[in-house]
């Protein structure tokens, strides 16, 4: 596991500014040959931005990048690739209709003979070799669409190294993997290390950082907090560096007196999950924790009428209901702040006021005409109450920052009178300041009698905000913990069952 | 973290450009009109030309107004031309059989509703892409038209039907113009002031978010298609009345002109953006252009060349403007 | 052991394509038509079926390439018509351009149209359907430049091009189609161009990132489509014996139906020529069946439109695993 001393990558004083937010502020990192460098940080710390700059998807505002000692101007993804940089993203980019071998050799199919014909035999053979070098057994003729997420990831890795990657970046690679698959991934990483590939491993899972990295760099709020050799540090130290303040201040705690049961779910089964039962009480925050693929999003979509229910019951305030579409859910005062707020929560080309009234258009006046004054007043009220930073209620939502966009989505459900609000990863991609505001909002709502169901994969967050935490794994319910009983190990363990 | 999109523009600026667009179009319209009046004098600017031109433009405009609603919601309806052909033949046939005019009108309009419903079902229930679906139904409607009329033109004379295209209100204003004004007012109010219109814009802007906000996307789209089918039939009635015959060729090639007008008027192909007034300007501009070319005795098929080129030019301008906006980031 | 396994998986992959279903449909149809009309299963009739689908077959060859790459070409009918009428004019008494030159001109026309389509779609960035809708109109209009000429085809070579039967049984046009399909299948399977085409159709962004010259390949696919339009145009004037500006009108309808039925997915990334061939035979058999059963001309038109709608509905239902909620 000894890493070489030569520096293959140096990113110096990188700064990147987006309107409204400084994503990276004078960040410098360096990567040694054959080492695994972990980059650790909360959502919004700047990890993704840094990687996108390295991969050529964003252009840095200032700073220099040196590869093998030479200054590089990475103007686009092509240059990054030719410099030996390969990135494996969370959202896998594979061509589902083609075979494993083809995916590995996209654009560079092996040709032979005078007519330069595609040599399938050679391609399959070479693919087999690459996979064997990773100690993996996959049929090069298999169609990608049939493979599991873990196998697709392996294909992506094989693709990366087929083009002689010098620097391999993995962005949250274990999000969708089981414990076993994660171990396989780690052994592949070790194999790559021994071949001299340098790896940047991005994660916010401390266990993995300690398992596989040689050094770790911590980012927070766009700044580099520090770089340490992994074995010379501890979990607490890293968490402290990541969060930067005492956790107690970060997540305002409060005790609640839960009221009556507002929602009861009995033996619910739909696409993505089986036989889930739980209760939600008035005024409480129920957290749902689980890994990618555990069925959390499928569950909340079913609660909201966006995922057809196969069996089971949903009981709201004592009435058993058939929530067959989001209209019904909305009428029953349920709201959903979706995972991807831009794609699923907002009409980006419309203004703040239009988005706030989006779920309550029928109430915009008594006739079939829109009462414009009423609309402005309603929007204005929420902008103030929730603290949405926008020049006006007419402002196009696409120009707001992530945190404010999220607030608009929340305002939409408040405007339509939701009493049970489901939030799917509410603080993803939001800067720390806005995060705290959203936590506070959530607490305020609960104090006023609403109930919240929150999906989160951030352990510190869910352990501090949720009153109860339900854990899901592979579509099933595994464990439930009260806040004071929960711990990172217990939750992670339950999530991997 | 794609804050890159956040920089683009403020809402106020965008609203101004949208309005400016329509104003520019009307200016172009005025210039064109003056130009053609001069070059085509004295015939162009005479009652003999203007009245038929306005009548023709009316039925195109009516269909375009409602089709704009469909396009803003993110769909399209290429079958309007076929609908017109079918309605024309159906009308003429029924009149031949001796059915009273008012009954024929009702039947024709119901036929339009049925066609709209079929399109609506294909798109919302079966889930076919509306471009392909309506190209398919375009052929079906036209084919049925040919079948009903056996390929021939059938005389369509009847007091009620005659009035639709050739009647006058208050002795001076042609009935089709009244219909045109009514429809544009109606669609303007619907799109710009009503809740229904707001839903349509929302669906065009982001159908998923609209769905997840409790809007019944399928129902809105279906009703839009119903309205479009109905209106196309009304257009068919007007055309039948204007020409006094029901021909299966009626409305052939209309899709090209109407869609071009709508896009020229500022409606984006993907939906979410567009103005009814813009469509009006687009319809006026293209109708006057093609009328002028016809008067100058240019062969119909050469005019078709212009129509195709106009479509490409119009969409190109839109695409280029989009690309420029993106590059400004 | 390894070899047998690999063969197994290739066969399994084949079974998952729509092709086996198509073969099934065809067999059922054969039976039904044979029962319905005693003229169906005659050599004469079958010869006719296979000769008639010449134009549609050649056109589908080109369109399939475009569609696998994610594109669309609605202008095929007009382009074939243009190539046809220009060739007919050039062969006219009084002009009589030598046959090889006529061939070159026809091919040049088709490829230029394809080039223009490709350029507009890739460089300006307009939706392929809208673009080819526009060029369809423009080119059809251009066909009418020669509307009053009415050239008859007297050139023997051209006459035979679309009409001879090899050994008095097999239409030569079917040989063209089979040859084209085979060559194109080989190109799809064994050239980088072909594989890149599938890649682009599957995920254009990924293709770009992988360094594939997406624009270049798309343009080439449109030029190929244009090339086949030229050939189709020549066959048209050969079979019909003259050059008229309206030839080819409406061909898009049947070709689209055939191609989509044959398993080529609208949007790209999937498709194979075996399926297209069988779909071609099926659609033509239906056309022929309708004639034999004395179905009136215009109803046939309705049936063709209905077939397209049916076929795209099946395609939509097949390719949507979770029925769209919105």
In a 13 Å sphere around the CA of A480, the CA atoms on its Cβ side amount to 12
Mark yes or no for CB contact B205/A348 under 8 Å.
yes
CATH architecture of the domain formed by C13-318: Orthogonal Bundle (1.10)
User: pTM for this one?
Assistant: 0.86
A108 interface with C at CB cutoff 8 Å: yes
Q: Are C162 and C84 in contact (CB under 8 A)?
A: no
What is the per-residue pLDDT for B238? Answer: 95
Alpha helix locations (H) across A168-234? 179-194, 206-212
Beta bridge partners of B168: B174
Task: Determine the pLDDT at residue C2.
Answer: 39
Q: A167-171 and A85-88 as β-strands: parallel, antiparallel, unpaired?
A: parallel
Q: Is B14 within the bounds of a domain? A: no
pLDDT of residue C288: 84
pLDDT attached to residue B9 = 36
User: pLDDT digit of tens for each residue in chain C (326 aa)?
Assistant: 334 444 445 666 666 667 777 888 888 888 888 887 777 777 777 777 777 788 999 999 999 999 999 999 999 999 999 999 999 998 887 777 888 899 999 999 999 999 999 999 999 988 899 899 999 999 999 999 988 888 888 788 888 888 888 777 778 888 899 999 999 999 999 999 999 999 999 888 888 878 889 999 999 999 999 999 999 999 999 988 888 888 888 888 889 999 999 988 887 888 889 999 999 988 888 888 888 888 888 888 899 899 999 988 888 887 765 455 56
**Are C137 and B303 inside 8 Å of each other by CB?**
no
What is the predicted pLDDT for the residue at A1?
A: 43
Name every residue whose Cβ is closer than 8 Å to that of residue B70 and which is 6 or more positions away in sequence: B76, B77, B221, B224, B225, B228
At B8, the pLDDT band (50, 70, 90 cuts) reads very low
Consecutive H or E run containing A127: helix A120-133
Residues B266 and B68: their CA atoms lie apart, in Å, by 10
Model ipTM value: 0.87
Query: What are B155-175's pLDDT values in tens digits?
Result: 988 888 888 888 888 888 899
What pLDDT sits at residue C209? 79
Whole-number pLDDT of residue C14: 66
Whole-number Å distance between alpha carbons of C28 and C25: 5
Q: What is the pLDDT of residues A410-469, one digit of tens each?
A: 999 999 999 999 999 998 777 777 888 899 899 999 989 999 999 998 777 888 889 999
On whether residue B276 sits in a domain, the answer given is no
Contacting chains of C (3 CB pairs or more, <8 Å) are A, B
**With a CB-CB cutoff of 8 Å, which residues 380-419 of chain A face chain B?**
391-392, 394-396, 398-402, 412, 416
- B18-74 pLDDT, tens per residue? 567 788 889 989 998 888 888 887 888 888 888 888 999 999 999 999 999 999 999
Using left for φ > 0, alpha for ψ between -120 and 50, and beta otherwise, residue B150 falls in left
Residue B169 lies in a domain: yes
> All domains of chain A, ordered by start, with CATH?
7-249 (3.40.50.300), 261-495 (3.40.50.300)
Name residues 127-156 of chain A within 8 A of C (Cβ): 139, 141-143
Of B8 and B241, which is predicted with more confidence? B241
- Which chains reach chain A with 3 or more Cβ–Cβ distances below 8 angstroms? B, C
Question: Chains with 3 or more CB pairs closer than 8 angstroms to B?
Answer: A, C
Contacting residues for A338 by C-beta, under 8 A, at least 6 apart: A344, A345, A409, A424, B212
pLDDT reported for residue A351: 93
Cα–Cα distance, C192 to B46 (Å, whole number): 63
Query: Are the C-beta atoms of A35 and A3 separated by less than 8 Å?
Result: yes
C246 φ, ψ to 5°?
-95, 0
pLDDT at B223: 97
Task: Name the residue range of residue B204's domain.
Answer: 41-251
By C-alpha distance, the chain C residue nearest B217 is C326
Is residue A298 within 8 A of residue A270, CB to CB? The reply is yes
Average pLDDT rounded to a whole number, residues B92-112: 94
CB contact under 8 A, A350 and B201: yes
| A174 and A182 Cβ atoms separated by less than 8 Å | yes
Contact list in B for residue A358 (CB cut-off 8 A) is 202, 209-210, 213, 215
Asked if the structure places residue B55 within a domain, the reply is yes
What pLDDT is stored for residue A4 in this prediction?
Answer: 59
Which helix (DSSP H) or strand (DSSP E) does residue C134 occupy?
helix C128-143
- Under the banding of pLDDT at 50, 70 and 90, the label for residue B6 is very low
A12-16, A331-335, B120-124, C33-37, range with the lowest pLDDT: C33-37
Higher pLDDT, B107 or C312: B107
pLDDT in tens, A145-173: 888 878 888 888 888 888 778 899 998 88
Domain count, chain B: 1
């Amino acid at each position: 596991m000894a890493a070489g001393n030569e520096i293959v990558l140096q990113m110096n004083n990188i700064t990147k500014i987006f309107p409204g937010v400084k994503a990276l502020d004078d960040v410098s990192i360096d990567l040694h040959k054959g080492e695994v460098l972990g980059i650790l940080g909360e959502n919004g710390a700047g990890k993704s931005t840094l990687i996108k700059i390295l991969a050529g998807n964003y252009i840095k505002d200032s700073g220099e990048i040196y590869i093998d000692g030479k200054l590089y101007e990475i103007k686009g993804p092509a240059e990054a690739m030719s410099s030996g940089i390969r990135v494996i993203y969370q959202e896998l980019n594979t061509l589902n209709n083609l075979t494993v071998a083809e995916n590995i050799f996209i654009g560079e199919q092996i040709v032979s003979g005078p007519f330069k014909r595609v040599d399938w035999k050679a391609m399959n053979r070479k693919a087999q070799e690459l996979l064997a070098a990773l100690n993996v057994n996959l049929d090069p003729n298999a169609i990608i669409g049939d493979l599991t997420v873990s196998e697709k990831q392996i294909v992506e890795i094989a693709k990366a190294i087929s083009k002689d990657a010098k620097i391999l970046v993995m962005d949250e690679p274990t999000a969708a993997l089981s414990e076993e698959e994660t171990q396989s991934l780690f052994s592949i990483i070790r194999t790559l290390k021994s071949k001299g590939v340098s790896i940047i491993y991005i994660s916010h899972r401390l266990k993995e950082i300690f398992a596989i990295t040689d050094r770790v760099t911590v980012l927070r709020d766009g700044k580099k907090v520090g770089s340490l050799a992994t074995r010379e540090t501890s979990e607490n130290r890293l968490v402290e560096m990541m969060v930067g303040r005492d956790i107690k201040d970060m997540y305002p705690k409060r005790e609640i007196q839960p009221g009556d049961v507002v929602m009861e779910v009995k033996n619910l089964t739909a696409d993505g999950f089986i036989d889930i039962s739980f209760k939600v009480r008035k005024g409480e925050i129920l957290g749902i924790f689980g890994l990618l693929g555990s069925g959390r999003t499928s569950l909340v979509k079913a609660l909201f009428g966006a995922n057809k229910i196969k069996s089971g019951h949903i009981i709201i305030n004592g009435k058993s209901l058939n929530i067959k579409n989001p209209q019904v859910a909305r009428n029953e005062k349920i709201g959903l702040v979706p995972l991807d707020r831009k794609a699923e929560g907002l009409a980006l080309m419309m203004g703040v006021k239009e988005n706030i009234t989006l779920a309550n258009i029928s109430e915009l006046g008594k006739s079939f005409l829109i009462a414009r004054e009423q609309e402005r007043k309603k929007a204005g009220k929420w902008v103030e109450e929730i603290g949405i930073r926008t020049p006006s209620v007419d402002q196009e939502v696409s120009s707001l920052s992530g945190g404010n966009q999220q607030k608009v989505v929340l305002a939409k459900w408040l405007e339509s009178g939701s009493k049970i609000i489901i939030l799917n990863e509410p603080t993803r991609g939001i800067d720390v300041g806005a995060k705290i505001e959203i936590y506070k909002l959530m607490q305020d709502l609960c104090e006023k009698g609403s109930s919240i169901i929150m999906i989160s994969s951030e352990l510190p967050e869910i352990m501090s905000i949720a009153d109860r935490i339900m854990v899901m794994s592979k579509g099933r319910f595994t464990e439930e913990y009260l806040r004071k009983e929960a711990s990172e190990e217990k939750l992670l363990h339950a999530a991997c069952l | 973290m794609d804050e890159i999109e956040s920089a683009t523009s403020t809402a106020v600026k965008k609203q101004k450009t949208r309005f400016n667009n329509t104003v520019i179009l009307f200016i172009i319209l005025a210039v064109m009109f003056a130009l053609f009046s001069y070059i085509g004098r004295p015939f162009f600017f005479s009652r003999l030309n203007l009245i038929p031109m306005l009548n023709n433009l009316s039925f195109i405009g009516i269909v375009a107004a409602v089709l704009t609603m469909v396009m803003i919601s993110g769909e399209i309806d290429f079958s309007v031309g076929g609908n017109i052909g079918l309605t024309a033949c159906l009308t003429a046939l029924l009149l031949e059989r001796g059915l009273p005019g008012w009954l024929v009108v009702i039947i024709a309009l119901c036929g339009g509703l049925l066609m709209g419903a079929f399109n609506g079902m294909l798109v919302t229930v079966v889930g076919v892409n509306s471009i392909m679906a309506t190209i398919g139904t375009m052929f079906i409607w036209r084919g049925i038209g040919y079948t009903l009329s056996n390929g021939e033109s059938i005389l369509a004379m009847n007091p009620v039907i005659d009035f639709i295209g050739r009647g006058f209100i208050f002795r001076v204003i042609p009935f089709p113009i009244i219909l045109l004004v009514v429809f544009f007012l109606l669609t303007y109010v619907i799109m710009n002031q009503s809740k229904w219109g707001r839903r349509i814009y929302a669906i065009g802007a982001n159908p998923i978010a609209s769905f997840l906000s409790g809007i019944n996307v399928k129902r809105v789209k279906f009703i839009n298609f119903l309205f479009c089918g109905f209106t196309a039939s009304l257009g068919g009635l007007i055309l039948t009345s204007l020409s006094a015959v029901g021909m299966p060729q009626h409305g052939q090639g209309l899709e090209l002109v109407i869609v071009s007008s709508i896009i020229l008027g500022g409606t984006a192909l993907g939906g979410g953006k567009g103005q009814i007034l813009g469509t009006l300007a687009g319809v006026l501009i293209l109708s006057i252009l093609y009328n002028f070319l016809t008067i100058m005795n240019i062969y119909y098929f050469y005019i078709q060349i212009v129509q195709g080129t106009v479509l490409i030019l119009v969409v190109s301008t839109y695409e280029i403007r989009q690309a420029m906006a993106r590059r400004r980031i | 052991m390894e070899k047998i396994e690999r063969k197994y998986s290739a066969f399994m992959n084949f079974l998952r394509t729509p092709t086996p279903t198509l073969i099934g449909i065809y067999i059922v149809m054969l039976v039904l038509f044979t029962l319905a009309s005693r003229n169906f299963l005659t050599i004469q009739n079958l010869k006719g079926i296979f000769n008639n689908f010449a134009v549609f077959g050649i056109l589908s060859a080109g369109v399939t390439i475009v569609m696998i790459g994610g594109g669309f070409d609605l202008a095929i009918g007009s382009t074939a018509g243009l190539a046809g009428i220009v060739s007919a004019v050039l062969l006219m008494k009084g002009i009589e351009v030598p046959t090889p030159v006529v061939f070159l001109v026809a091919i040049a026309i088709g490829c230029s149209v394809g080039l223009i389509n490709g350029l507009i779609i890739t460089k300006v960035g307009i939706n392929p359907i809208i673009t080819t809708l526009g060029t369809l109109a423009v080119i059809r209009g251009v066909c009418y430049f020669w509307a009053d000429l009415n050239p008859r085809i007297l050139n023997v070579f051209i006459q035979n091009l679309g009409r001879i039967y090899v050994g008095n049984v097999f239409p030569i046009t079917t040989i063209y189609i089979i040859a084209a399909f085979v060559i194109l299948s080989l190109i799809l399977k064994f050239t980088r161009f072909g594989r890149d085409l599938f890649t682009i159709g599957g995920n254009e962004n990924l293709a770009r990132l992988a360094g594939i010259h997406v624009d270049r390949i798309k343009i080439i696919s449109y030029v190929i489509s244009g090339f086949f339009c030229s050939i189709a145009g020549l066959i048209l004037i050969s079979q019909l014996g003259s050059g008229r500006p309206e030839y080819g009108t409406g061909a898009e309808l049947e070709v689209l139906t055939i191609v989509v039925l044959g398993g080529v997915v609208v949007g790209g990334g999937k498709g194979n020529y075996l399926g297209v061939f069988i779909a071609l035979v099926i659609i033509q058999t239906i056309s022929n069946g309708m004639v034999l059963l004395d179905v009136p001309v215009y109803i046939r038109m309705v049936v063709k439109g209905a077939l397209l709608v049916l076929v795209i509905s099946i395609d939509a239902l097949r390719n949507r695993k979770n029925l769209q909620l919105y």
